Each structure stands twice: as structure tokens, then as C-alpha cells.
């Protein structure tokens, strides 16, 4: 999507939310619904207000252009001075809008869901999935982002077959979306007696979490199954049916949550994950509809694509999308993901500016 189309959509949605906030029917409705409206409105506010100001400046410049054609020299001189000032402000705001648009139309959402799954490599892949989780958790701490465990499936040796997180904080989705894809690790496993380097893999998916008002989900839209939570190896860790599984009837998407002791809490988390996945399906459909347009390589989110290699013997991290190689893997795994994140954002920023200049 071209940046101006993206900004027009943002402003249109922002205006729609403003109307909803003053609608008596909405004000008299459920308080939770208004909270979602306010949260989405706040998330769009910075970009929408800047773009609204940019459009107003463009109109003012256009109006002053007629004065420049005036035969009155004093009026013409005054218009020239004002036009120069307005154009300077407009260019400054446009640069700020380009910066805010880095990462796509969902870039300024504060909440996202991250799913990490072990790939090829058995138990070693599960341990690698755990290491990725720890890396992201520590990075979130440095950013003061809130991390909430939604669900997990532990392995026998303390790894994760799968782990799902909710991450909430300023800039969380903007930065983490580029982590989507296949991650490969090259290292000597703990169980390797002969010191041979093995290659294992894990996949990461990062999806923006929608507000409740964006994805409507009724009880009749899904099947709810309740079961006892289990731990590694399948042993039961709970004799009560606190775990839940949701199956979306139309799409066939399945979500389960069992980490909370309360069935009510597990259901609430499962609904959030299901809504996020449904929103991702909607976004993917829209992306395919405009597939003829250039898509950012680093923003594709394709889990089958190998995006990064973590080589332990060489203390090397390589991001294959932007040909970035850093020999400080040990620091990155302890949460210092900033050099990687900044390089990915800068790459996307450069691509966005190139597109704007070509438009």
C-alpha cells in the first residue's frame, strides 16, 4: 500500500472513532467497548493528527497560490513569505509522517502477540525456542514493555515446543514484527558427546493484536472444549478442566490455553489469541489483493522463510534479509537486540523513502 493511501485509511478510521466517541448509543453501551475505542483512538492519534495538519497546510498553500498571481505587489510579497513558511512546515511534517509509517499500517499499535515454535531438530529445537523467548523477554525489559504468557507447551528438557506471548508497550509491534520468519541455530547441543555442531530451527510469528471492536467474535462462531491441563510428556498437572480449546468454525483455526489455573482466565486469553489470528488472516487477504505492489522483504512475515542464523561457535548473528552480520551473539541473546532492530528499521525506512521519491 502506498504511504498516502495508508495515511488516508488511518485518518478515516481516526475520524470514525471520533464520531463513535460522541455517539450517545456508544456512550451508553458497555464500558469495555468504550475502553477499546479510546485505546485504538489513542494509538492512531499521533499519526492522524499530523496527517490532518499536513492536509490543512496543503490546502493553505493551494489557496495562497492564487494570491501569487495577483497584480498587487504588496499582497504578492506577503503571500510569497507565507507560502515559504507553510511549505517548510509541511515538508517537516511529511518527514515525521514517513518516520511514523515505517513498518506498515499497523506499526503504531502498542500490543502484539508473538508465537515461537520449535522446528526441525527435536529437543535441541525446543531449547532454541526457549532461548529465543528469553532473548525477547529480556529485550522487552530494556524497553519497559509488558510481557504476558498466553500459553506454552514445555518439552522434556525445559525447552518449548510452542510458547505464545502478548507484548504491550510503545513501539513493540513496530520493532518486533520483523522477527517473523524462520530462525536457524548452529551449535553443539548439550546432549552431544562428540562436540559436533548441529543445526536446528524455530519459527517466530509476530501479529498485531486488534481491539475487540475490530474483530467481532460471538460464542456461536466457535466451539469451546474444556480439558485438564497437562505438562511435559503429557502428565496431568491439573485434575480440573481449567484448560480450554477454541475452534473457529468458519476458518478452522484452533487455539488453546492452559497456563492459568482459572478456566475463565484461560478462555479470555484464548479469545485474544484467536482474534489476533483472525485479524492476521484478514491482513494477509488484503496483502494478497495488492500483491502486485512491492512488498518489503523484511515485512513479509513468512514463517517458511529463513531470516536469521545464530552461529554459536563463531559468536555470529546473520540476518539474511539485509545482509547484516554481527559478531556479538552472546550480547544479543542476553537481550541486546537493539543493533539488529535498528538496522531492520533503517532498511525499511530507506525503502519507504525510495518509494515516496518514486511516487
Would you put residue 349 in left (φ > 0), alpha (ψ -120 to 50) or beta?
A: alpha
**Given this model, what pLDDT does residue 172 score?**
92
Q: List CB contacts of 219: < 8 A, sequence separation 6 or more.
A: none
- Indicate the domain borders of the chain: 3-100, 109-359
Q: Cβ distance 3 to 99 under 8 Å?
A: no
First to last CA, the chain: 12
DSSP strand pairing (306-311 vs 181-187): parallel
CA gap 119, 125 in Å, rounded: 6
Q: Cβ distance 253 to 273 under 8 Å?
A: no
Nearest residue to 312 (alpha-carbon basis) of 131, 138, 121: 131
CA gap 330, 334 in Å, rounded: 7
Tell me the residue ranges of DSSP E strands in 192-273. 198-208, 222-227, 243-248, 254-257
DSSP state of 211: P
> Which neighbouring-strand residues pair with 247?
223, 254
CA gap 40, 192 in Å, rounded: 50
**Given this model, what pLDDT does residue 294 score?**
41
CA gap 307, 180 in Å, rounded: 8
Nearest residue to 303 (alpha-carbon basis) of 284, 316, 288: 284
CATH level 3 topology of 109-359 = Alpha-Beta Plaits (3.30.70)
How do the pLDDT tens digits run along the chain, 359 residues long? Answer: 577 888 888 899 999 999 988 888 777 777 667 877 888 888 888 889 999 999 999 998 888 877 777 666 777 777 788 888 898 999 999 988 888 877 777 877 889 999 999 998 889 999 999 999 999 999 999 999 999 999 999 998 899 999 999 999 988 998 999 999 999 999 998 777 778 899 999 999 999 998 877 888 899 999 999 888 765 544 444 556 788 999 999 999 999 998 888 889 999 999 999 999 999 988 887 766 554 444 444 554 455 578 999 999 999 999 999 999 999 999 999 999 999 999 999 998 888 776 666 55
Strand ranges across the sheet with 181-187: 146-154, 160-168, 111-118, 198-208, 181-187, 306-311, 316-319, 324-326
Range 269-294 burial, b when 16+ CB lie within 10 A, else e: bbbbbbbbbbbbeebeeebeeeeeee
DSSP strand pairing (146-154 vs 111-118): unpaired
Q: Which residue has the cell 482466565?
A: 265
DSSP state of 339: H
**Given this model, what pLDDT does residue 125 score?**
93
Amino acid at each position: 500500500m502506498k504511504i498516502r493511501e495508508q495515511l488516508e485509511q488511518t485518518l478515516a478510521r481516526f475520524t470514525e472513532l471520533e464520531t463513535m466517541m460522541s455517539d450517545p448509543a456508544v456512550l451508553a453501551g458497555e464500558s469495555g467497548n468504550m475502553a477499546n475505542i479510546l485505546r485504538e483512538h489513542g494509538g492512531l492519534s499521533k499519526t492522524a493528527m499530523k496527517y490532518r495538519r499536513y492536509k490543512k497546510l496543503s490546502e493553505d498553500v493551494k489557496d495562497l497560490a492564487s494570491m501569487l498571481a495577483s497584480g498587487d505587489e504588496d499582497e504578492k510579497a506577503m503571500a510569497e513569505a507565507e507560502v515559504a513558511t507553510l511549505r517548510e512546515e509541511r515538508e517537516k511534517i511529511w518527514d515525521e509522517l514517513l518516520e511514523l509509517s515505517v513498518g506498515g499500517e499497523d506499526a503504531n499499535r502498542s500490543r502484539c502477540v508473538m508465537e515461537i515454535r520449535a522446528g526441525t531438530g527435536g529437543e535441541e529445537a525446543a531449547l532454541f525456542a526457549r532461548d529465543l523467548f528469553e532473548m525477547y523477554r529480556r529485550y522487552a525489559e530494556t524497553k519497559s514493555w509488558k510481557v504476558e504468557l498466553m500459553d506454552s507447551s514445555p518439552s522434556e528438557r525445559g525447552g518449548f515446543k510452542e510458547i505464545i506471548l502478548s507484548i504491550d508497550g510503545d513501539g513493540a509491534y513496530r520493532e518486533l514484527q520483523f522477527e517473523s520468519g524462520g530462525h536457524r541455530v548452529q551449535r553443539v547441543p548439550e546432549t552431544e558427546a562428540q562436540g559436533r555442531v548441529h543445526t536446528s530451527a524455530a519459527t517466530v510469528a509476530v501479529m498485531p493484536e486488534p481491539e475487540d471492536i475490530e474483530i467481532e467474535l460471538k460464542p456461536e462462531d466457535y466451539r469451546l472444549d474444556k480439558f485438564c491441563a497437562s505438562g511435559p510428556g503429557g502428565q496431568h498437572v491439573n485434575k480440573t478442566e481449567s484448560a480450554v480449546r477454541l475452534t473457529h468454525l468458519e476458518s478452522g483455526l484452533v487455539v488453546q490455553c492452559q497456563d492459568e489455573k482459572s478456566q475463565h482466565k484461560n478462555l479470555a486469553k484464548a479469545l485474544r489469541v484467536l482474534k489476533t489470528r483472525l485479524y492476521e488472516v484478514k491482513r494477509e487477504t488484503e496483502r494478497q489483493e495488492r500483491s502486485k505492489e512491492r512488498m518489503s522483504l523484511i515485512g513479509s512475515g513468512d514463517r517458511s522463510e529463513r531470516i536469521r542464523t545464530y552461529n554459536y561457535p563463531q559468536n555470529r548473528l546473520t540476518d539474511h534479509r539485509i545482509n547484516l552480520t554481527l559478531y556479538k551473539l552472546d550480547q544479543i541473546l542476553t537481550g541486546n537486540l537493539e543493533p539488529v532492530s535498528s538496522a531492520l528499521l533503517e532498511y525499511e525506512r530507506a525503502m519507504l523513502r525510495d518509494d515516496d521519491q518514486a511516487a
